[in-house]
Structure 1
Amino acid sequence: MKPLIIVCGLNRVGYKILRLLRQQEALVVGISDRPIADDQGSNIIIGELHAASTLIEAGIQSAHTLVLSNSDEAQNLTILMQARVLNPQIRVVNRLFNSNLGDRLDRTLVDHVSMSVSALSAPVFAFTALGHEAIGQLRLFNQTWSIHEEYIDENHAWLGTKLSRLWEDRTRMLVYYLPADCENRHTDLVSAVTMGKELNVGDRLLIGTQPTMRSGQKSIKQRLAKLFSNFRHFQQHSRAVLLVAFALVLTILGATLTYTSFRYNISLIDSLYFSVGMITGAGGNSQIAEQAPDGIKVFTVIMMLVGTAVIGIWYALLNDFVLGTRFKQFINASRVPQQNHYIICGLGGVGTQTALLLMGYGHDVVVIERDPSSRFLNMANSLGIPVVQGDASIPATLKAAYLEKAEAIIAVTSNDTANLEIALNAKGMAPKVPAIVRYEDPKFAAMVRQVFDFEFVLSPSEIVAPSFAAAALGGKILGNGILGDTLWIALATLITPHHPFCGKLVKDAAMIADFVPLYIETNIETKNIKTGSQTIHGWDLLEFCLSNHDVLYLTIPANKLEYLWKSKVSKSSQAIAN
């Protein structure tokens, strides 16, 4: 019998997870606090999510996995504790925004997997901005690879290309294959590669693409342009301070020349010393004025009053520039890239993660955030992320972020209407700059893209639901995606003497279990002593014979995971997670 999975909280993400698990023919029950209008299925329990009676009715005591999909972290934690009281052995997939709390729970509780919507969806936004129409992500070689679908049509460059040729390319991973021919619909990728099958019209492939690192070094021309830009920003933000300072210098200079012309036996330095002391209030060499005629004394009084006013104004402006907001605005403005950069609107979880990914790949970014009290501002400043504070829907704010010369603008605030307004204004100002828009409701995301002709409109709930569904099915998940109605899962499995793949060639095991091998980590031994490890790829991978302690990285359809359960290798897969 298949293990029971309970999805608790049927919001957009939760209901999508439930539907995906149903498609994979998993034994699944949903819990909702209100009736689902579009679903009259008998496997949905209505009641208080954290109530023991509701969880018992859903079968919590015999369930294998509980998926907590609510956006309310406090409620998820309450349900988690109630579920562990009723079933201490249940495996929990917990949706948490707080990554630190999630990591601590993963270390403290056995069989607890924390997942974040922002962390899962941000790579897709980043890859999409870089020009890849990503539908998922894959974690390989300590890098996050983008997953996209290739549909072979009459004009596709790969039409007629042998799959074996694509298999040899180390910069991409063939993840899944769906032939158009109904007679060959059940042909697995490894069989197609070994038989030399060619790609035909209608065939579909899922491809993992290795991320490329952009050089962070800038040309001399770019550095000079940045220097002049910083100088202009300094002039803009310090104009008032400089003007008053100039007035102060003129006042001191006028007084110095007046005293020098009055008494020829007084040196220019003495006059300057007296003028500065008199105007600033510090005093010094006062006999110059005491021995002067009444006119000069009146002039001295006027200079004292004018100097006091000018000094007071200058000190106030300087204090505001250094300790107030102007100096901070100057620093932020000087850090804003001027060309070939990515503009991220919204410094939330998705925006922050997207900015970090793009910066990690060597690209320049700038974030626009309207909330000066955002809890992510300090983190952004500490990480060196330039931030323009203002409303991204206002043209002046977009201009301050140099929209016209940007590579793309990514609107990822938590408000769908605000994202739509930002993208429309950006398109009005710079029609050629691609716009990537976050829209929570997946039903309307496609319509928004069609009506307003945006390059990409992405729904986080649509992006992350497959990841939660894959995690619910078990094992350490390295990535996932959907091709047609099939959910595929990437995972790592440790080969043990009792593993069903032990002693088999990779290609033979792949044809039997319908999985796609990605690569193998194997030990190098000299005289029965481990001296290192190596990875096996390409054709060598298919001809490799699996043995004890090898780690096989593979992708497999979610509905074929039962093969691993029956073979009792799930513990081997989970060993990699620890």
Structure 2
Amino acid sequence: MVVCGDDGLAHRLSAELRGVYGEQVVLVVPPNARTARRPVVGRPRSAPAALFDRVVSVAVGRGGPVPGGDSAATSQRPGGERVLEAEFLTEQVLAEAGVERAAALALVYEDDETNIRAALTARRLNPRLRLVLRLYNRRLGQHIEELLDQAAVLVGESEESVRDAATSVLSDADTAAPALAATAVAGTGKVIQAEGLLLRAVERAAPPAGGPAPPGLCTLALLSSDRDDEGPVLLPDDEEVRRAGGRSRVMLERFSAAEGAAAGNGLGVGGVPPLSSLFSKQLRWSLAVLAGCVIALAVALSIVTGIHPVRAFYFTLLDLFAIDDPALGEPLGRQILQLLSGLVGLLLLPVLLAAVLEGLGTFRTQSALRKPPRGLGGHVVLLGLGKIGTRVLIRLRELHVPVVCVEGNPEARGLAVARRLRVPVVIGDVTQEGVLEAAKIHRAHALLAVTSADTTNLEAVLYARGVRPDLRAVLRLYDDDFATAVYRTLRVAHPLATTRSRSVSHLSAPAFAGAMLGRRVLGAVPVERRVLVFASVDVANRPQLEGRTLASAFAPGVWRALAVEGAPDTPPDRLLTKEDRVVIAATRRGLAELG
């Protein structure tokens, strides 16, 4: 196995393959590999043209090595991991890493172009190589498998010879964003979708003593107790669940396709804004009061003069716009109503002018960032609009959750998405006083800190807890030991508040590792700092599954069969046959044991 990358995901994936699956791994990283490096580019050209030239050059075998980037320093780590340090991922570096003999190659650089260029080179070196790519661009990812197959044909390999070489395109942002969003919003969960089946993992509070158990198919995990440092229990059996007492738990629920479609409905990408966003609340109330006055005057005119209500309404509008004749010689009531109608008409003029100005201002600011409105409350404050933050923002808006974003970089990639979704954004350094206050943190439901800097996320949470001690906080932390210490300290300091920490690489690594081994990983559900992996496996040639009922296909703490693909209402006593394909929940080691 060969893993190439320039950030924490590469190290986490390498450790996953070695520690869980027992694979031999060659890790290719830049010098000082914890920092992302900009890929080498040629002469200044437009990005699409440059990318197209590189793709064609590599596909037909004309891509030469990049000057100055061929050398690689090799070292051996104590765990048996071979590490190559190379500034740039060239053909020579890939050959030195053993791509020509490798079973699988993972390209997990942060830059999409670097991964595509290296994938085409690797496919030419070894057409039978299983490729796993990390791509942020979804549209490009949909076509990359076909592109790589075409590249194999161009270098002289037949389609039959490369049929077994699978290409998987994954995104760490897409893998982690649903879990991060679900953690910030109580009552939502990670959705696992398989053929004809929709499952959802939801965190539930502990049931009252003697009360009924929370609804769901089964208990996936028992969360840590607030009274001690006991860690979570994954895939407990019924006896452990009964002894759990007041511990919260992660439940597995089945829901319908209609619910899934409703949860996935986005809020659109712009267009004509709704009426409520065109005009302010004060202006809408003013228009409503004036409309009520007009109706009252029309009714009064109909009563005083005895004319038909429609004609009375017509005469009232004429008086309102001062285009009716004076009511000379008319009864006193008619004259008074005409004067009142004229007065209402005078009051209507500034209101109409304000409506026009507000409407024009709203359309003019469609391309500008919105500020948090007055009176906003119960929202989620999202800190960071990078790759992860952008995907989390989209997921939160799909759940119809109000969001206020905080971003320090005025050129962050997520600002365009926030502008399109009309999400309020505060531009500023979160470590500076007043920035979180501008995001209405004192009235927020939760804080979701997902910047790439652990210290920034921690500082934001600590500052927010100083403003509001009971605030629900979710922070992105890479280091497990550091995250454990932070969690325990915050739990003691703020026992009434919910604190969760998540690592994007920790959530994504099982999916990438499963793809490298040819497994079909459906998703990963975080349980504090541990992960449950959902996968689809064949029953054939697996004695742990074949010939057993769905309910008995269960190894507590290791893996559990949940359902049969294509049969959403499978009874627990259904006997599994070798033709079946089942959805399982497993720990990382449990997935390795199933093979």
Q: What's the TM-score, normalizing by structure 2?
A: 0.58
Native 8 Å contact 1:320 1:326 kept in 2: no
Q: Using a 3 Å threshold, how does the CA distance of structure 1 residues 189 and 333 change in structure 2: closer, same or farther? A: closer
Please, which of 135, 144, 153 is the counterpart of residue 105 of structure 1? 144
Is residue 2:10 matched to residue 1:14? yes
- Give the aligned partner of residue 582 of structure 2: 552
Give the Å deviation of 1:67.
Answer: 1.9
| Distance change in 2, residues 1:374/1:66 (3 Å) | same
Instruction: Map 1:304-343; keep pairs closer than 5 Å.
Output: 327=365, 332-333=370-371, 338-343=376-381
Q: Identity of paired residues, percent?
A: 25
Do 1:337 and 1:365's aligned partners in 2 also have CA atoms closer than 8 Å?
A: no
Change (3 A) 1:147 1:64: farther
How far residue 18 of structure 1 moved from its aligned partner, in angstroms, is 1.9
- C-alpha change, 1:199 and 1:28, in structure 2 (3 Å) is farther
Aligned-partner Cα distance in 2 for 1:511–1:370 = 47
Q: How far is 1:342 from its partner?
A: 0.9
SS in 2 for 1:536: coil
TM-superposed deviation, 1:362: 3.2
8 Å Cα contact 1:410/1:437 also seen in 2: yes
The change in CA–CA distance for 1:432 and 1:509 in structure 2 (over 3 A counts) is closer
User: Separation in 1 of the partners of 2:455 and 2:475?
Assistant: 10
* Maintained 8 Å contact 1:234/1:330: no
Aligned to 1:489: 533
| Contact 1:132–1:146 under 8 Å retained in 2 | no
Equivalent position amino acid for 2:17 in 1 = L
Q: Distance in 1 between matches of 2:366 and 2:285?
A: 11
- 1:273-331 CA deviation, whole Å, 9 max, x = no partner? xxxxxxxxxxxxxxxxxxxxxxxxxxxxxxxxxxxxxxxxxxxxx99995799956999
* CA distance 1:107–1:86, change in 2 (3 Å): closer
Determine if contact 2:428/2:435 at 8 Å carries over to the other structure: yes
For 2:481 and 2:389, locate their aligned partners in 1 and report how far apart those are by CA, in whole Å: 22
Aligned residue for 1:171?
216
Residue type matched to 1:128 in 2?
T
Q: Match of 1:77?
A: 116
Alignment of 1:124 with 2:174, yes or no, is no
1:224-243 deviation per Cα after TM superposition (whole angstroms, max 9, x unaligned): x99997449999xxxxxxxx
1:64-463 pair list within 5 angstroms? 64-109=103-148, 111-131=166-186, 138-139=192-193, 145-146=200-201, 171-175=216-220, 199-200=242-243, 207-210=250-253, 230-231=281-282, 327=365, 332-333=370-371, 338-449=376-487, 455-463=499-507
DSSP 3-state at the match of 2:25:
strand
Letter in 2 for 1:207: V
CA change 1:559–1:446 in 2 (3 A) is closer
Tell whether the 8 Å contact from 2:187 to 2:204 is kept in structure 1 after alignment.
Answer: no
- Corresponding residue of 2:272: none
CA 1:52–1:470: 2 relative to 1, 3 Å: same
How many residue pairs are counted as aligned between the two chains?
Answer: 436
Range 360-369 or range 435-444, more displaced:
435-444
Cα offset, 1:351, TM superposition? 1.9
Amino acid at match of 1:360: E
Q: CA deviation at 1:521?
A: 4.0
Question: Per-residue deviation at 1:429?
Answer: 3.0
Return the offset for 1:343.
1.3
Contact 2:369–2:422 (CA<8 Å) still a contact in 1?
no
Offset of 1:65 from its aligned partner? Answer: 1.9
Conserved? CA contact 2:77–2:83, under 8 Å: no
Secondary structure of the structure 1 residue equivalent to 2:141:
helix
Q: Which amino acid aligns with 1:12?
A: G
Correspondence for 1:472: 516
Shift in Å, 1:407? 0.3
Match of 1:536 in 2: 569
- Provide the residue aligned with 2:298 in structure 1: none
Equivalent residue for 1:29, pick from 25, 38, 41: 25
- Does the CA-based 8 Å contact 2:379-2:403 persist in structure 1? yes
The structure with the larger Rg is 1
**Cα deviation digits, residues 166-220 of structure 1 (max 9, x gap):** 7xx7635444799xxxxxxxxx979x56xx776447999983445998999xxxx
Is the alpha carbon distance of 1:148 and 1:470 closer, same or farther for their aligned partners in structure 2, counting shifts above 3 Å?
A: farther
SS in 2 for 1:544: coil
1:464-519 CA distance string (max 9 Å, x none): 233323333332211236889997532224668x887666543465579x741212
SS of 1:122's partner is helix
Cα distance in 1, alignment partners of residues 115 and 280 from structure 2: 49
For the residues of structure 2 that align with 1:100 and 1:157, how far apart are their CA atoms? 44
Instruction: Give how far 1:423 is off.
Output: 3.2
Query: 1:122, CA displacement in angstroms?
Result: 1.9
Equivalent position of 1:239 in the other structure: none
Measure, in 1, the Cα distance between the counterparts of 2:366 and 2:532: 48
Distance 2:477 2:240 in 1: 40
